[in-house]
Amino acid sequence: MSFSSSTPVDQEIKRLREKLNKLRQQNACLVSQNHSLMTKIESVHFELTQSRAKVSVLESAQQQAANVPILEEQIINLEAEVSAQDKVLREAEDKLEQSQKMVTEKEQSLQKSQEECIKLKVDLLEQSKQGKRAERQRNEALYNAEELSKAFQHYKEKVAEKLEKKLSYPKKEKSGDKEQNVEKNGVQAEEAILEKNLINCEKENKRLQEKQLQEENNNGKEKLRIMAVKNSEVMAQLTESRQSILKLESELEDKDEILREKFSLMNENRELKVRIVTQNERLDLCQQEIESSRVELRSLEKIMSQLPLKREMFGFKSSLSKHQMSISSNKEDSYIGCCETNKMVISELRIKLAMKEAEIQKLQANLTANQLSHNLIASNDNQESGKLNSLETEPVKLGGNQVESIKVQNQHTVNKQYERERQRLASGIEELRDKLMQIEAENSDLKVNMAHRTSQFQLIQEELLEKASNSSKLESEMTKKCSQLLTLEKQLEEKIVAYSSIAAKNAELEQELMEKNEKIRSLETNINTEHEKICLAFEKAKKTHLDQHKEMEKQIE
């Protein structure tokens, strides 16, 4: 059975193995087919890429073929643009050549103008030389005229001598008629020559005088014109300086007002300082009051320490002294804090006042407790007296009357001590109540004073803050205005210096004008006097010549 069962299984396994082999063969075939297909696909892809490249090349060729006329048109346009640019370049080159020619021409014209300037300078020098020559000629002509006048006088003297000789020899007239005629003709010729020379000299003198006058007038007019221009400039500068001076005066007035405001603020600051000093004095008075209150508290402590009390009273006294010390310390702290800080310390003082009220209530509670303790002591005393009475009623075992007398004496002493202590306690309690009332009244007064002083301090602080801010603002403004004042003062000094220099220049120019005007007037007067002298001399010469001519004619006749 096992063999029979194994055979079909083996057969199935064989079948399955065969199927597996077949499947593996099929898979191998499929893999080989896949590889071949992949190679084919790759070849097809390669061919496709090649064909696409060819198609793109062909399309680009077609596009280029289609773009050929456009490109030709573009080439034509570019050639036209190039030709136009060539023309523009040629025109620019022509313009450059023309500009270079113009530059050369302008340089030549500049050289010519420079040469002309040099020539003009030379001409001016020559004209100045000619003027000097003309002056020399004028001087020579004047000298010649003087010499001619001297010669004419000498000739007159000779003629007079000859006439005298002729008059002294009247008998020889007939024999010397021919000689007289010859001499007369020579004299007339000489007179004609002298008259011509005199006329020429007069003409030259007039011409030279006119030239000199024209030149001097032209020079004077030019100088006057230059001086008028300078005067106009100086007047413009003077007007500008006056305007600047007016501006500076207005600025100075503004600054004076600012300084007045500054002085008023300084006065306000002084008043504030005085107020602060008064407030400090008030604070000193408050501190003195605090010290006086301390002294009073110490005196009260001494008085309380002198009271002989029991332990309870000593404890009460110590608590009261501590309370008073705490009150005094709280007062001191409150006053010092009030002096140093304002608002925060007010709140602290209120807290301390509440603490004081609580302590006062504690003291009142302690007083009530002390009263209760006194009542308890009195009750205990009564109980002890009752016990003593009971002991007295008991039968006498010890000593009879002696014991009773001792007990009575002890009772009396104890009662007296208790009464004394009660009186002392009552007086101490009354004193303490009075002191408490005084302390409460002082606390209420202190509260009122503190509220009033806090309000005053707040107002003073607000005023001080406002005035400090105002003073800081004013100081900043003052610094700015001081800097502005310094700059304005510098500008004023500069302008004053410029104005003084301008005024000095103006004075110098006015002096030069006056001197030149005086020179012109002196020259005019000199020219007029010389002209008058020449005219008078010429007229005198004419008169003398005519007189001599008439005398000669008379003598000849």
118-152 confidence digits (pLDDT tens):
676 676 677 667 767 767 776 776 777 677 777 76
Is 546's pLDDT higher than 70?
yes
Distance between CA 319 and CA 314 in Å, rounded? 8
pLDDT, mean of residues 242-267: 71
Is 335's pLDDT higher than 60?
no
**Higher per-residue pLDDT: 515 or 251:** 515
Domain that holds residue 110: 80-126
Q: Which of 92, 126, 160 is the last residue before a domain boundary?
A: 126
pLDDT, mean of residues 279-304: 67
Residues sharing a CB contact under 8 Å with residue 450, sequence separation 6 or more, in sequence order: 334, 338, 346, 349
Residue 73 lies in a domain: no
Exposed, middle or buried by CB within 10 Å (0-12, 13-18, 19+), for 528? exposed
pLDDT, mean of residues 468-482: 74
Indicate left, alpha or beta for 309 from its phi (over 0: left) and psi (-120 to 50: alpha).
beta
Q: Which of 488, 518, 548 is the last residue before a domain boundary?
A: 488
Residue 409 lies in a domain: yes
Domain count, the chain: 2
Of the spans 119-133, 440-454, 513-527, which averages the highest pLDDT? 513-527
pTM of the model: 0.23
Distance between CA 530 and CA 383 in Å, rounded? 165
Residue 90 pLDDT: 74
Residue 255 lies in a domain: no
Per-residue pLDDT reduced to its tens digit, 216-234: 777 767 766 776 676 677 6
Average predicted confidence (pLDDT) for the chain: 68
Residue 60 lies in a domain: no
Strands (E), 39-153: none
Residue 332 pLDDT: 45
**Percentage of the chain lying above the pLDDT 90 cut:** 0
Residue 265 lies in a domain: no
Is 3's pLDDT higher than 70?
no
Distance between CA 115 and CA 121 in Å, rounded? 10
Residue 212 lies in a domain: no
Residue 268 lies in a domain: no
Please state which of the ranges 15-24, 171-180, 240-249, 391-400 shows the lowest mean pLDDT.
391-400
Residue 554 pLDDT: 73
Q: Which of 439, 470, 488 is the last residue before a domain boundary?
A: 488
Distance between CA 142 and CA 198 in Å, rounded? 11
Residue 116 lies in a domain: yes
Is 556's pLDDT higher than 70?
no
Instruction: Give the DSSP letter string of 305-371.
Output: HHS---HHHHHHHHHHHHHHHHHHHHHHHHHHHHHH-SHHHHHHHHHHHHHHHHHHHHHHHHHHHHH
pLDDT, mean of residues 397-416: 66
